[in-house]
Amino acid sequence: MRNIFLVSPYHGGSHKSWAVGWQEHSQHAITLHTLPDRFWKWRMHGGAITLARRFLAQKAQPDLIVATDMLDLTTFLALTRRQTAHIPTAVYMHENQLTYPLPANGRTGPMRRQLGERDQHYAFINVASMLAADQVFFNSRYHLDSFFAALPNFLKHFPEYNELNAIQALHKKSQVLPVGINFARLKMAQPPKPGTKPLILWNQRWEYDKNPEAFFTALYAAAEAGQAFEVALCGQQYGKRPSIFNEAIARLGNRVVHVGHADLPTYRRLLWQADITISTAHHEFFGISLLEAIYCHTFPLLPNRLSYPELLPDSYHAHTLYQDETELAEKLIWALTHRDETRHLAAGLATAVSHYDWQQVSPLYDEKMVTLWQTYQAETRENQ
């Protein structure tokens, strides 16, 4: 067993559930070093300084350090070099600031102060941290591939000494390590029976990158086609509710049976009650909320892009993946009118995605950490 320090400057949402889930299921001793999930830009700048100060105050000597992508690992290691110089490190890429999509309206979203232009500095923090780490883990193949597809042009943006030769070495030490999910918290002794009308679930963040406009367009098309259904709008909301939700709630009227972030008992009930869950996202590096719904026997309709194709077995793609908004509307109407078939498919999918449970994923994490430590020790001995 190894002592692992997991450093997470933006400890909330999926980052928090991932860290706590691994800690609870690992055979290693994992200590969390965290800061609250707010002011993300400042976390990427100042988080390393604060967490380095705390690390030094503890005078601890872990076997490994694993940092999330929100940490400036280079600064953290520089400030703690007397204690960390001989500790192997890894970075876990939940997301990255190079390929994260920007909103169409440059005055909204994370880069509004740059009027929609990507601030290259945050992407460079990611790149430098990855270069400093001994191992880099991405949460999906799509995430890894899309990052390395964009990296050459990003480095060419700089005038000289742009270190393009580093890409190959960086790619060599990068691999996919999927997110673990605590499916156990979603289990119910007696799941609720389906309602008389099909229930469509939105359980993603209420933000621009999840493209709620296309979601509601599909619902309007189903309503105009005379289909009966209800809608539950849950998921995490940051700040003011996007106006598209207010417009949709008014337009859909009494079809809407839930609005707002749901506590765990309510969320669990909605997952099991729902017939259909839909993603119209512009961005998805993994897809925890969709997998939670699928595990609870909710039939998914997902775009045939991003990380979604790799989450589901190929045999289900024809029924669950759509190419464009027209096909989404068609498949939604099919699902609403073929409840028995979608329930059968959903039951099979629930079994198919169960391997993302922490009970099965945690041993893989533990093995990766042992391999990292052993490789580091062997290389250190060779260089002495």
The 3-state secondary structure of 169-231 reads HHHHCEEECCCCECHHHHCCCCCCCCCCCCEEEECCCCCHHHCHHHHHHHHHHHHHCCCCCEE
Q: Phi and psi for 221 in degrees, rounded to 5?
A: -65, -40
Considering the domain architecture, whether residues 81 and 202 belong to the same structural domain is answered as no
User: What's the CA gap between 128 and 151, in Å, rounded?
Assistant: 12
Considering the domain architecture, whether residues 254 and 328 belong to the same structural domain is answered as yes
Considering the domain architecture, whether residues 127 and 209 belong to the same structural domain is answered as no
Considering the domain architecture, whether residues 129 and 251 belong to the same structural domain is answered as no
Considering the domain architecture, whether residues 138 and 263 belong to the same structural domain is answered as no
Considering the domain architecture, whether residues 111 and 226 belong to the same structural domain is answered as no
Token reading at 302: 């997902």
Cα dihedral: 143, 363, 345, 282 (round 10)? -20
Report the domain count for the chain. 2
pLDDT in tens, the chain (384 residues): 789 999 999 998 889 999 999 999 999 999 999 999 999 999 999 999 999 999 999 988 899 999 999 999 999 999 999 999 999 999 999 999 999 876 665 555 555 545 456 678 999 999 999 999 999 999 999 999 999 999 999 999 888 898 999 999 999 999 999 999 999 999 988 988 888 999 999 998 877 788 899 999 999 999 999 999 999 999 877 667 778 888 999 999 999 999 988 899 999 999 999 999 999 999 899 999 999 999 999 999 999 999 999 999 999 999 999 999 999 999 999 999 999 999 999 999 999 999 999 999 999 999 999 999 999 888 887 776
29: containing domain? 3-182+358-383
Considering the domain architecture, whether residues 376 and 267 belong to the same structural domain is answered as no
Q: Residue 173: which of 128, 135, 145 has the closest Cα?
A: 135
Give residue 189's pLDDT.
Answer: 85
pTM of the model: 0.91
Report the SS3 class of residue 300: strand
Considering the domain architecture, whether residues 117 and 253 belong to the same structural domain is answered as no
Considering the domain architecture, whether residues 216 and 348 belong to the same structural domain is answered as yes
Considering the domain architecture, whether residues 111 and 202 belong to the same structural domain is answered as no
Q: Are 98 and 329 in contact (CB under 8 A)?
A: no
Considering the domain architecture, whether residues 379 and 330 belong to the same structural domain is answered as no
| Domain CATH for 312 | 3.40.50.2000
Considering the domain architecture, whether residues 134 and 8 belong to the same structural domain is answered as yes
CA 113 to chain centroid, in Å, comes to: 25
